[in-house]
Amino acid sequence: MVLLAREDDFDGWRDAARRLAGARVSPDTVLWQTADGGGDLFADPGAALPPEPAHDLRVPRAFPDLAESAILHSDPERFGLLYTLLLRLQQEPRLLEDAADPLVRRIEALAKTVRREIHKMHAFVRFREVTDDDGSRFVAWFEPDHHIVRATAGFFVRRFTSMRWSILTPELSIHWDGFTLTESAGADRAQAPAEDLGGDDALEALWVSYYRSIFNPARLKVGMMVKEMPRRYWKNLPEAQAIAPLIAGAQGREATMTAQQVAPAERPRTLGALAEEAQSCRRCPLWQGSDGVATGGCVFGEGPGDAKLMIVGEQPGDEEDRQQRAFVGPAGQLLDRALDEAQIERGTVYVTNAVKHFKFVMRGKRRLHQTPAAPEVTACRWWLDQEIGLLRPRATVMLGNTAIRGVTGKAGAVGALRGKPITLTQGTGIATYHPAYVLRVPDKDTAERAFADLVADLRVARLAADEV
Ligand code: URA
């Protein structure tokens, strides 16, 4: 018997599955249970798990993503099915490509259902404002069918970084206080703010009018709308009350909009518009500067909107903040030399930073650089994600650990990741040394080696960006 800590305990499943598969334990002799699904964490597990296998198991690249999604499904058989698949993959490495295989189909269906529900949760969670002792907090109620709440938390943290919020669900509740994400037990609907759709709740009124404003009658297909917004979610959505009158009035509005050519919500967003918007960013406290000294503003990325290569640094330094341009100080000059040696023209590259305000402390009259903290990097991913979404680079160079966190959303060390290009949601990621690190290395030989490594990594990035 394998007892997992939670219904979404992917790490626990992976560890147990590797050990079991290493010892070739037959799937039908394994009973998978979860502590929060009624299993007893302190029960005698019967037989101890086999030791770590001596060799890594071989799985195709697509397997971890597939398993991570499928495991969130509420189907109690999922753990065993995935384990069976893992074992079969050892003998049949191309099994995932066999779309007719019943096991592959079943697991893909589980993963697809989960991904679709995650997408729905991103779109349909609606916050209502409540006031508690610490001021205002936004609370939402949601009823997912699968174990997706933890998996969606990062999305809401990024979207609503500067708000205090809670998402209550029957299985688990999550809370964000602006800096830390915490969990508590599941809730029931009565604990969420009352569902008063009477129209006097200012926030709901706002949602309704927002929905009206993005509603585009020219693209109205009721079937599609119902598919995108299944009826069972409607009960939590204030804007659902707006749907019937909107459908009814669609034809008239379509005529008006055709005359206006493009609905405002459809106007393409551009990097320039994003840069302007970012100037008033209040997602973290860095915009205020430090010790009563303000920053020069938000230093946004720059470069051609169709650049295939993107370079992400840490944050603007003192000189960048004065000139309001990325990588123009000493680190920027070293980067320029490295780009030159790698035969990359800086003007063809989009250069940006994980954090867009200069973080510093005052020492006398000097502003001394401070490394941004993880919540600041997380908050600023709101902008970086959008830059990536608009640019869709083929390759992204991550200069230093902060850039790795900004791009991947996870902690990572250049030392461990250098020289191993990774697959990102968008294109290939290449981690390398930050030019400021190369500048700081005290001994000449090590500095020269670090510079040569930086150049080599930039060359790899150039090739990845040029690949079709
Ligand atoms: N260091 C960075 O990470 N970015 C800059 O823009 C300048 C220095």
CATH number of the structural domain spanning residue 365: 3.40.470.10
Shared-domain flag, residues 327 and 183: no
Ligand 1 center–CA 98 separation, angstroms: 47
Return the H-helix or E-strand segment holding 460: helix 444-466
Shared-domain flag, residues 129 and 114: no
Q: Out of 121-130, 156-165, 212-221, 226-235, pick the least confident.
A: 212-221
**Largest Cα span, the chain:** 74
Ligand 1 center–CA 437 separation, angstroms: 11
Q: Judge whether 57 lies within some domain.
A: yes
Number of structural domains in the chain: 4
Count of CB atoms situated within 10 Å of the CB of 286: 24
Instruction: Scan for tokens 């994600």, then name that residue.
Output: 385
Q: Using most ligand atoms within 8 A of CB, pick from 299, 314, 334 the residue to mutate for ligand 1.
A: 314
Q: Using most ligand atoms within 8 A of CB, pick from 319, 320, 336 the residue to mutate for ligand 1.
A: 320
Instruction: Please give the pLDDT value at position 273.
Output: 84
At residue 457, does pLDDT exceed 50?
A: yes
The stretches of 163-278 forming alpha helices (DSSP H) are 202-214, 222-228, 231-234, 240-248, 250-260, 271-278
Q: Which residues line ligand 1 (CB under 6 A)?
A: 313-317, 320, 326-327, 329, 331-332, 353, 436
Q: Please indicate whether residue 395 or residue 212 has the higher confidence score (pLDDT).
A: 395
Instruction: Please give the pLDDT value at position 212.
Output: 53
Shared-domain flag, residues 229 and 176: no
At residue 180, does pLDDT exceed 70?
A: yes
Q: Judge whether 331 lies within some domain.
A: yes
The minimum-distance atom of ligand 1 relative to the CA of 402 is 3
Last residue of a domain, one of 120, 138, 171: 120
Instruction: Please give the pLDDT value at position 123.
Output: 81
Shared-domain flag, residues 213 and 183: no
Instruction: Please give the pLDDT value at position 240.
Output: 58
Side-chain-side CA neighbours of 237 within 13 Å: the count stands at: 19
Mean pLDDT of 163-185: 87
Last residue of a domain, one of 94, 120, 146: 120
CA distance 77 to 468: 41
Shared-domain flag, residues 12 and 129: no
Shared-domain flag, residues 324 and 364: yes
Q: Please indicate whether residue 165 or residue 192 has the higher confidence score (pLDDT).
A: 165
Of 316, 309, 299, residue with least CA distance to 345: 309
Ligand 1 center–CA 331 separation, angstroms: 7
Instruction: Please give the pLDDT value at position 433.
Output: 97
For 65, the 3-state DSSP assignment is helix
At residue 259, does pLDDT exceed 60?
A: no
Q: Judge whether 197 lies within some domain.
A: no
CA distance 455 to 451: 6
Shared-domain flag, residues 115 and 227: no
Shared-domain flag, residues 279 and 424: yes
Ligand 1 center–CA 315 separation, angstroms: 5
Instruction: Please give the pLDDT value at position 231.
Output: 59
Q: Could you report the per-residue pLDDT of 321-353, keeping only the tens digit for each?
A: 999 999 999 999 999 999 999 999 999 999 999
Host domain of residue 216:
202-259
- DSSP conformation class of 145: S
Ligand 1 center–CA 302 separation, angstroms: 13
**Ramachandran sector of residue 406 (left: φ over 0; alpha: ψ -120 to 50; beta: rest):** alpha
Last residue of a domain, one of 97, 120, 143: 120
Q: Out of 41-45, 128-132, 160-164, pick the least confident.
A: 41-45
Shared-domain flag, residues 254 and 273: no
The minimum-distance atom of ligand 1 relative to the CA of 354 is 3
Ligand 1 center–CA 328 separation, angstroms: 8
Q: Tokens in use for 371?
A: 């490394």
Q: Judge whether 92 lies within some domain.
A: yes
Q: Judge whether 196 lies within some domain.
A: no
Q: Judge whether 140 lies within some domain.
A: yes
CB 358 within 8 A of CB 318: yes
Shared-domain flag, residues 35 and 139: no
Q: Say how many Å lie between the first and final Cα of the chain, rounded.
A: 48
Shared-domain flag, residues 291 and 240: no
Ligand 1 center–CA 326 separation, angstroms: 6
Shared-domain flag, residues 181 and 80: no
